[in-house]
């Protein structure tokens, strides 16, 4: 496993070569340094780079290739897949060429739903899916069936997503319920926030386990952790107080993020059919 300082150096290197000013590029990277560092530490622990063979990784939701570039520099063979709007963005296409990362768009149906991942069957050792699950607004069975298809027998899925039972989330939802404001995303964020997709559904660890076992019995959870990466040291007093409670007083299950590892032993196959396949076929 690589040291935290070595990984942070790689993250800082990436920041140094990306021009500031683009919210979706430098801004996103700058606010996720600690998350990337945490994830890369876990990746090198679960699937260490090998001297004679570079483990092959597919990043689902590769976005601006920040994580893909970092994984490549740590010794992995990385491919990416995302929506055409991101893959075809000039800054992303240029970065893919610069770092020799194959980055392809999903195959979409007529409604814009991803229905195909353009890589070979059983071609990757690791699937990386960070901060994507909470943005999926369509029925995901076809997407995860495609992920399963490209995974080798025994490949692992490394997943991060917000924890629905984090203290911040729980207190926010409670306040909204007691004041009869809303459930889920509020109107202001839906109408005004710069985003490629809101957090329409955040999950608990029990939901995530159920989510994947419902898709296939072959998805076996190997482990999970609760963690946090946001810095609230400069936040308002009540946020700092909640942060101290979350990190220092309460059990870890109240922390903000989830890291989950699944292994796919490909024996039983996918057991669900996409219920909207018949009406959304391309």
Confidence of residue 24 (pLDDT cuts 50, 70, 90): confident
**19-23, 42-46, 77-81: lowest mean pLDDT where?**
19-23
Overall average pLDDT of the 239-268 stretch:
93
Tokens of 143: 């997407």
pLDDT in the model for residue 280: 53
How distant, in Å, are the alpha carbons of 29, 211, 265 from that of 156?
25, 16, 9
pLDDT in the model for residue 196: 66
pLDDT in the model for residue 276: 79
For the chain, give the mean pLDDT.
91
pLDDT in the model for residue 2: 66
Least Cα distance to 233 among 242, 224, 221 occurs for: 242
Overall average pLDDT of the 22-47 stretch:
91
pLDDT in the model for residue 9: 84
**3-12, 81-90, 144-153, 208-217: lowest mean pLDDT where?**
3-12
Least Cα distance to 65 among 41, 44, 89 occurs for: 89
Confidence of residue 82 (pLDDT cuts 50, 70, 90): very high
The model's pTM is 0.92
Position 28 pLDDT exceeds 60: yes
> Which superfamily does 106-264 belong to?
Vaccinia Virus protein VP39 (3.40.50.150)
Burial class (CB in 10 A: 0-12, 13-18, 19+), 99: middle
pLDDT in the model for residue 198: 81
Position 279 pLDDT exceeds 80: no
Position 282 pLDDT exceeds 50: no
Position 163 pLDDT exceeds 70: yes
Q: Is pLDDT larger for residue 38 or for residue 9?
A: 38
Long-range contacts of 251-255 (CB under 8 A, 24+ apart): 252/225, 252/226, 253/163, 253/165, 253/205, 253/226, 254/163, 254/165, 254/166, 254/167, 254/170, 254/226, 255/163, 255/166, 255/167, 255/226, 255/227, 255/228
> pLDDT exceeding 90 applies to what percent of the chain?
64
């Amino acid at each position: 496993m690589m040291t935290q300082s070595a990984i942070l150096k790689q993250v800082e290197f990436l920041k140094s070569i990306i021009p500031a000013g683009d919210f979706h590029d430098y801004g996103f990277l700058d606010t996720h340094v600690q998350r990337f560092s945490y994830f890369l530490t876990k990746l090198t622990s679960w699937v260490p780079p090998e001297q004679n063979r570079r483990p092959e990784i597919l990043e689902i939701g590769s976005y601006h290739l920040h994580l893909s570039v970092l994984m490549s520099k740590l010794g992995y063979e990385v491919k990416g897949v995302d929506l055409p709007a991101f893959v075809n963005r000039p800054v992303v296409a240029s970065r893919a060429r610069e770092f020799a990362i194959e980055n392809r768009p999903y195959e979409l149906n007529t409604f814009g739903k991803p229905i195909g991942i353009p890589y070979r069957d059983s071609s990757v050792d690791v699937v990386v899916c960070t901060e994507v699950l909470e943005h999926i607004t369509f029925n995901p069975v076809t997407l995860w069936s495609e992920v399963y298809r490209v995974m080798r027998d025994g490949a692992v899925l490394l997943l991060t997503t917000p924890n629905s039972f984090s203290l911040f989330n729980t207190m926010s939802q409670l306040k909204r319920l007691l004041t009869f404001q809303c459930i889920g995303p509020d109107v202001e964020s839906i109408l005004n926030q710069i985003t490629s997709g809101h957090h329409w559904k955040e999950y608990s660890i029990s939901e995530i386990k159920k989510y994947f076992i419902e898709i296939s019995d072959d998805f076996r959870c190997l482990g999970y952790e609760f963690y946090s990466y946001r810095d609230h040291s400069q936040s308002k007093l009540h946020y700092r107080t909640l942060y101290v409670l979350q990190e220092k007083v309460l059990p870890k299950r109240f922390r903000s993020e989830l890291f989950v590892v699944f292994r796919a032993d490909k024996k039983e196959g996918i057991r669900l059919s996409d219920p909207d396949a018949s009406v959304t076929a391309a």
